[in-house]
Homo-oligomer: A and B are copies of this chain.
């Protein structure tokens, strides 16, 4: 299980056995059941998440309606906004599958960082990589129609369409569930 994490980290930095042991001793691996809510609106938290297995989801509740804006699957990380801003969270995070996560408090980050400056380097690389990806995704979203966004997702993340409920996918695509249903029917019609 830990190996998934270490293999991932190996892409950025090299780790000694000793360093790996320090990480293991932190006891940061968590097995969570589908539906578990990790973060709620209004809550303050310092927890960062890294998905080893499963899927977590970020969503807002606006006018009583859930609006899903992101999914995080294997090898993806989420640092909730409230962690960096030190403000109450604007959104919720839950598990939409049984999942195994690394849950690391910011204080652990500080501790590990002070022992191993490598960590800082890795975090910076990750943050820059994520920012670049995020900007491209946003640009694509802005410049395409709901239908194009759906087809694009079908190309890039076909797994998401399989494992995620339609109504959550819909708001992820910026539309209503009924529109997603219709849009899919339209696409099937076009193919023939």
- A residues with CB within 8 A of B: 58, 60, 62, 67, 69-70, 81, 84-85, 90-91, 120, 123-124, 127-128, 130-132, 134-139, 141-143, 171-172, 174
Contacts and interface: CB of A to CB of B under 8 A. Distances in A.
Say how many copies of this protein the assembly contains.
2
B81 A136 contact: yes
A162 to B, nearest CB: 21
Contact of A143 (B69, B85, B132): B69
A101 B139 CA distance: 23
Contacts of A123: 124
A82 to B, nearest CB: 10
A62 B135 CA distance: 17
Contacts of A142: 67, 69, 141, 171-172, 174
